[in-house]
Amino acid sequence: RRRRRGAAREGRGAAVPVTPAVPVTPGGNGNGMDAPSAAGLGGADPQLQRFIEVETQKQRFQQLVHQMTELCWEKCMDKPGPKLDSRAETCFVNCVERFIDTSQFILNRLEQTQKSKSAFSESLSD
């Protein structure tokens, strides 16, 4: 079964554009549903709150790695074999780099949007 590879087939070292399916943002777990947050526990033990925050961060990171792995595998693997050829290796490197760049861009844009909304709200209350 052959899969469409886009830029990965055009030549060795070609950039692979990657857009994450679901951005992982602070306060969310990337699936559209927020994980239980430490703030939602009210007066719970601070040590328990910290544990939940750490576990939630681990979950977000694992989900991001899973998304990246699935996406890059689909884009870069023609036929699995005992060795990774240089074309596939280059494709994987480019794919991971683009995924990270795109995720960072989305997070930065969301932070900027949130800051501008906060500044706008503050100016209205003055």
The reported pTM is 0.53
CATH number of 46-124: 1.10.287.810
C-beta of residue 76 within 8 angstroms of C-beta of residue 5? yes
Taking only the tens place, the pLDDT of each residue in 19-73 is 444 444 444 444 444 445 545 556 679 999 999 999 999 999 999 899 999 999 9
Does residue 76 surpass a pLDDT of 60? yes
Confidence bin at 2 (pLDDT 50/70/90): very low
- Going from the C-alpha of 59 to that of each of 8, 21, 37, 97, 102, the distances in angstroms are 30, 17, 13, 21, 20
Q: What is the pLDDT of residue 126?
A: 66
Average pLDDT, the chain: 74
